[in-house]
Homo-oligomer: A and B are copies of this chain.
Amino acid sequence: MKTPEKTRCENCIIRQFNSLKAFSKEELKTISDNKVSREFKKGDQIFKEGEKLSGVFCVRDGASKLSKLSENGKHQIVKIAKKGEILGQRSVVSDEQTNLSATALNDTSMCYIPKQLIIDKINENPEFTRNLLKVMASDLRESDNFIVNMSQHNVKQRIAEALLYLEANFGTDDEGFLAVNLTREDLANVVGTATESCIRQVAELKKDNYISTKGKKTKIEDKKGFEDMISGF
Contact = CB atoms under 8 A, between A and B. Distances in A.
A78 B126 contact: no
Contact of A136 (B78, B137, B231, B232): B137
A151 B76 contact: yes
Number of copies: 2
Given A78-B144, A144-B78, A192-B152, A231 B94 contact: no
Contacts of A129: 126, 129-130, 133
At the interface, is chain A mostly helix, strand, loop or mixed? helix
A68 interface: yes
A8 interface: no
A72 B229 CA distance: 12
Contacts of A126: 122-123, 126, 129
Nearest to A143: B143
B70 A137 contact: no
A204 interface: no
Contacts of A16: none
A74 B150 contact: no
B138 A140 contact: no
Interface residues of A, number: 43
Contacts of A134: 93-94
A71 interface: yes
A99 B152 contact: no
Interface in A30-45: none
Contacts of A122: 126, 130, 133
A227 to B, nearest CB: 11
Contacts of A96: 141
Interface of A: 68, 70-72, 74, 76, 78, 90-91, 93-94, 96, 99-100, 122-123, 126, 129-130, 132-134, 136-141, 143-153, 192-193, 231-232
Given A68-B147, A136-B140, 15 more contacts: A70-B152, A71-B232, A72-B152, A78-B147, A93-B134, A93-B137, A94-B133, A94-B141, A122-B126, A123-B126, A133-B136, A140-B140, A143-B144, A147-B192, A150-B150
